[in-house]
Structure 1
């Protein structure tokens, strides 16, 4: 499975093709799916362009993308930085997603196990009918995942973040070894300079992976890309 990560925490000033508004997200998602993406991950934004966990903003982004890409799974972030690391605010906002209608509700949400109250958050999402993607950044996260038995777990994201590219593959293998077989699909990806080395490793291992402007602004040879669809095509050309 190849997931496209449309925007992440980036700002529009970083790349002309970065989608921010619901209509931009919808167009970018459709182009990426037409290029070969199987699933979509996005960070909803408020009217001021900043990341948002407000139900109304999640609804606007998810419903627009669903209309543009019918039948394609859509997921969102729950990163604690979105609420300036306010755990209570995040809990309240995501608890408010219970009002979302089916077309507005994401199929899954990523929960970073390194963040405080991650297991509590996973329970809230599960109770709302949203699947859990467990973000595993370290061997400690892997141990927590294996011990916790998270309900509603649909996928494990092994995410290589803030690691030098020459160390990234070894770091991925260390985490994967600790994780073993979690009983659900594993998606392996890296960010920034580690993106392409880790993506190639994921393809070599036969694991799910992801690509998009959240993870990198350049193709595998360092060339600039016009948008998420270019990155999807470049990934599929590596297979």
Structure 2
């Protein structure tokens, strides 16, 4: 599986084509899927352009993308930074997703195991009928996942973050080795300068991976890119 991560926590100052509104997300999603993406990940925004976990903002983004890309699996973030690291506020907002209609509800949401109350948050998502992607950033996260099951887990995201590109593959292998077989699919990806080395490694290992403006603003040779579709096309070529 190749997932397109459309926007992340980035702003328009970082890339002029970054999608924020539901309409922009729908256009970028359609272009990414037409370029070969098998799944989508996005960060819904409020009217002020800031990331949001409000049910109304999640519903607007998800329903717009579903209409543009019917049948494509779709996930969102629950990053704790979205609520300024307020654990209770995040839990309360995610509980509010239970009212979402099927066309407004994401298929899955990422939960970073390095963040407080991650397992509890996974339980809230599972109770709302939303799958959980367990975000594993370190060998410590991997050890935690081995010791404590995550409710509703449908996938493990091994995410190489804050690692120099020359060390990224070794770090990925260390995490994968500590993780073992989690019983669900693994998606391996990196960000910034580590993005492309890790994507190549994921392809070599036969693992799912992801690409998009959330992870990088440059192509595999460091060239600027127009948007998510261009990144997906480059990733597909490398995977082949």
Q: TM-score range by the shorter chain?
A: over 0.9
Where do residues 1-239 of structure 1 align in structure 2 (5 Å cutoff)? 1-239=1-239
**Tell me, what secondary structure is at the counterpart of 1:13?**
coil
Query: For the residues of structure 2 that align with 1:151 and 1:163, how far apart are their CA atoms?
Result: 29
Q: In 1, are the aligned partners of 2:119 and 2:151 still within 8 Å (CA)?
A: no
What are the superposed Cα offsets for residues 122-168 of structure 1, whole Å, 9 maximum, x if unpaired? 00000000000000001111111111122211000000000001111
Name whichever of 5-14 and 143-152 sits farther off: 143-152
Query: For the residues of structure 2 that align with 1:38 and 1:163, how far apart are their CA atoms?
Result: 27
Q: In 1, are the aligned partners of 2:160 and 2:168 still within 8 Å (CA)?
A: yes
Query: For the residues of structure 2 that align with 1:230 and 1:17, how far apart are their CA atoms?
Result: 12
**Tell me, what secondary structure is at the counterpart of 2:158?**
strand
Query: For the residues of structure 1 that align with 2:64 and 2:200, how far apart are their CA atoms?
Result: 31
Query: For the residues of structure 2 that align with 1:55 and 1:151, how far apart are their CA atoms?
Result: 21
**Tell me, what secondary structure is at the counterpart of 1:158?**
strand
Query: For the residues of structure 2 that align with 1:11 and 1:150, how far apart are their CA atoms?
Result: 31
Query: For the residues of structure 1 that align with 2:147 and 2:177, how far apart are their CA atoms?
Result: 15
Query: For the residues of structure 1 that align with 2:12 and 2:127, how far apart are their CA atoms?
Result: 34
Query: For the residues of structure 1 that align with 2:43 and 2:18, how far apart are their CA atoms?
Result: 11
Query: For the residues of structure 2 that align with 1:154 and 1:219, how far apart are their CA atoms?
Result: 29
Query: For the residues of structure 1 that align with 2:149 and 2:6, how far apart are their CA atoms?
Result: 29
Query: For the residues of structure 2 that align with 1:138 and 1:13, how far apart are their CA atoms?
Result: 30
What are the superposed Cα offsets for residues 81-138 of structure 1, whole Å, 9 maximum, x if unpaired? 0000000100100000011000000000000000000000000000000000000001
Query: For the residues of structure 1 that align with 2:199 and 2:159, how far apart are their CA atoms?
Result: 11
Query: For the residues of structure 1 that align with 2:144 and 2:130, how far apart are their CA atoms?
Result: 21
Residue 12 (structure 1) shift: 1.0
Query: For the residues of structure 1 that align with 2:202 and 2:56, how far apart are their CA atoms?
Result: 35
Count of residues paired in the alignment: 239
Query: For the residues of structure 2 that align with 1:232 and 1:12, how far apart are their CA atoms?
Result: 20
| RMSD, aligned α-carbons | 0.5
Question: Which sections of structure 1, spanning at least 5 residues, go unmatched?
Answer: none
Question: Which sections of structure 2, spanning at least 5 residues, go unmatched?
Answer: none
* TM-score normalised to structure 2 length: 0.99
Following TM superposition, the consecutive aligned residue runs of length 4 or more in structure 1 with deviations greater than 6 angstroms are none
Query: For the residues of structure 1 that align with 2:112 and 2:149, how far apart are their CA atoms?
Result: 15
**Tell me, what secondary structure is at the counterpart of 2:13?**
helix
